[in-house]
Amino acid sequence: AQDVKFNVDRILDPETKSRQVPVFYAKLQAATVVDDHTIRLTTNGPWPALVESITWMRVAPAKYFQEVGAEAFTQKPIGTGPFKFVEWVKDDHVTLEANDEYWRGAPKIKRVVYRSVTDGPARLAQLLSGEVDLIDRVAPSDAAAVKGNANLELSAIRSMNQIIIGMNSFVKPLDDVRVRRALNHAVNWDEIIQRVLGGYAYRNASSVGALTVGHDANLKPYPYDPEKAKSLLAEAGYPNGFETELDGPIGRYNADKEIAETIAGQLARVGVKVVKYNGNEFNTFFTRYLSDAKLPMDTGERARASVVTGLYMFGCQNFVGGDFEFCNRLHFYSKQRGIYYNSPQLDQLLESISSELDRGTRLKLAADAQKLVQDEAPWIFAYDEAALFGAKKGLVWTPRPDDFIDAYTASWAQ
């Protein structure tokens, strides 16, 4: 319990400048030790998602952390999991060995090496050659190569990564909801999923991922209807369409560049011309996306000053689930970030969700919030990605939708 308190105190200390506080622990105020194995957490109000949120706290041993300091701890950490840290070679690999004294029982696999291979073709080549046993983020275009190899197995599951095409709704013409709805009718996602992604994606009409608790499966996607799109554009005063730009990362999401180019072609059919595609590696894209972080977030000043004046491709992961994730996921685009979309009505709903203890009421509020966002159309609703993994036959493991690879539950078939 003392170790837990130490970590809570450290994270909440303003000097730590933890970026996790506004995201995960905004309502957490203090931790009090009750006995050796009991901790009491104090919040600043009702917080139904406390349990989900607190799972993100990594507990470091207080004595060791204080002895070596924060910087040395990051080089040789000690945690509470089933594996012990052995070695970290920056941009290359991390080596772990089994913790035979782990409270849930020792792992069956005794040594794990996580390699950092950001290049997709290189990652696939290592799997095909037998150099590695398991890879994540298999490209849809490479799925057949894995499935066709007698020594490998392909796993494909719905992931928590939701893809959207955002819009800067603070600038013309995207400040007009009719224009935003028109763009939703102008993109044929079924065609993109089948032709570009090989069927490895799942349409999502909601503003949160389908695996998030509270997701409203009753929402229907905007139907592909180019004539409806043209009609809405004309009604908004753009009978001949307009020009815009599209920002997006390259190599971050499945076939992201190809999808961006396909979207541009489909928008052109209704008169919306993407005159420039600002495709960059993710860090460059994200710097553009954030723009001037010193400007106010919820007044629109940052959005109006942004270099992202049109559309942007973005992926959002629903890591935790439950009420916490629903609120945080939407707040990302509203009050807490407010870069390209802000809705006081939505913020009011989210505040109610975050403090309402009755589950049924929370789910009703969640459905209301999703319907509101769909009606306001601050982005083009797209799809949830498929998580594709390639593994050597004989490896017994369970793929997860959150991109984590759980080596503790893995084993080799006897």
355 & 404 share domain? no
Long-range pairs, 258-262, Cβ under 8 A, ≥24: 258/196, 259/192, 259/196, 259/197, 259/313, 260/313, 262/192, 262/195, 262/196
- Tell me which of 48, 75, 102 is where a domain ends: 75
Per-residue confidence (pLDDT) for residue 286, from 0 to 100: 85
132 & 225 share domain? no
β-pair type (242-249, 272-280):
parallel
257 & 398 share domain? no
201 & 130 share domain? no
Token digits of residue 371: 């319907």
301 & 344 share domain? yes
User: Max CA-CA distance within the chain?
Assistant: 71
Whole-angstrom Cα distance, residue 367 to residue 206? 9
364 & 335 share domain? yes
pLDDT by 10s per residue, the chain, length 414: 999 999 999 999 999 988 788 777 888 999 999 999 999 999 999 988 888 888 888 899 999 999 999 999 999 999 999 999 999 999 999 999 999 999 999 999 999 999 999 889 999 999 999 999 999 999 999 999 999 999 999 999 999 999 999 998 888 999 999 999 999 999 999 999 999 999 999 999 998 889 888 889 999 999 999 999 999 999 999 999 999 999 999 989 999 999 999 999 999 999 999 999 999 999 899 888 876 555 555 566 666 677 888 999 998 876 554 555 555 555 555 554 556 888 888 888 888 888 888 989 988 998 999 999 999 999 999 999 999 999 999 999 999 998 889 999 999 998
Helices (H), 101-225: 120-129, 143-147, 177-186, 189-195
Q: Tell me: cis bond preceding 239? Omega within 30 of 0 counts.
A: no
C-alpha atoms less than 13 angstroms from C-alpha of 151 in its C-beta half-sphere = 9
300 & 408 share domain? no
CATH for 183 = 3.10.105.10
Whole-angstrom Cα distance, residue 72 to residue 287? 29
174 & 224 share domain? yes
CA-based nearest residue to 381, from 215, 236, 235 = 215
Whole-angstrom Cα distance, residue 61 to residue 78? 7
* Cβ partners under 8 Å of residue 115, min gap 6: 92, 93, 126, 132
334 & 186 share domain? yes
406 & 361 share domain? no
- Tell me which of 33, 52, 75 is where a domain ends: 75
- Tell me which of 40, 75, 110 is where a domain ends: 75
Whole-angstrom Cα distance, residue 231 to residue 239? 8
CB 391 within 8 A of CB 134: yes
Whole-angstrom Cα distance, residue 291 to residue 301? 11
Whole-angstrom Cα distance, residue 151 to residue 131? 13
First to last CA, the chain: 40
CA-based nearest residue to 323, from 25, 53, 127, 37 = 53
Long-range pairs, 263-268, Cβ under 8 A, ≥24: 263/165, 263/187, 263/192, 263/380, 266/186, 266/187, 266/188, 267/183, 267/186, 267/187
Per-residue confidence (pLDDT) for residue 115, from 0 to 100: 96
* Cβ partners under 8 Å of residue 274, min gap 6: 243, 244, 245, 246, 263, 264, 267, 268, 310, 311
CATH for 34 = 3.90.76.10
Whole-angstrom Cα distance, residue 336 to residue 347? 9
Number of folded domains in the chain? 3
Per-residue confidence (pLDDT) for residue 258, from 0 to 100: 96
Which domain covers residue 131, as residue numbers? 83-157+388-412
CATH for 134 = 3.40.190.10
199 & 184 share domain? yes
365 & 221 share domain? yes
